[in-house]
Amino acid sequence: MQANVNPEDLPRATALVSFAQLFGGVLGIGVCGTVFANELAAGLKEFAPDAPFQLVRHSVDSIWTLPPAQRVGVIHAYVKVNFKHVTPMWRHVFH
């Protein structure tokens, strides 16, 4: 970038690039977080319908407080969401 910008415009150009990178990261986290939350809700209803929904949705640590029968379904829901939706999104970001 520095080679393509006039020296007097360099501070503004650098600020614009930094802002664009930061904004892109925030937007990406927002989109991924929304997709993850929505798909996790569906996965929990499918694989762990009797698990305490709000508890396991908001705290990964709470998984270990569940009975083993519920724990398996909750972990399966988290893993399925990660590999079905989140991992493919990151592949597009880093390629």
Question: How much is the pLDDT for 59?
Answer: 86
DSSP assignment letter at 51? S
Using CA atoms in the order 51, 52, 56, 62, what is the torsion angle rounded to 10 degrees? -90
CA distance 22 to 91: 19
pLDDT at residue 19 tops 90: yes
CA distance 34 to 38: 6
CA distance 51 to 44: 8
Q: What is the value of pTM for the model shown?
A: 0.68
What is the percent of the chain with per-residue pLDDT over 90, rounded to a whole number?
Answer: 48
Question: How much is the pLDDT for 16?
Answer: 93
Q: What is the pLDDT of residues 42-61, one digit of tens each?
A: 999 999 999 998 898 888 89
Q: In this structure, how many other beta carbons lie within 10 angstroms of the beta carbon of residue 77?
A: 23
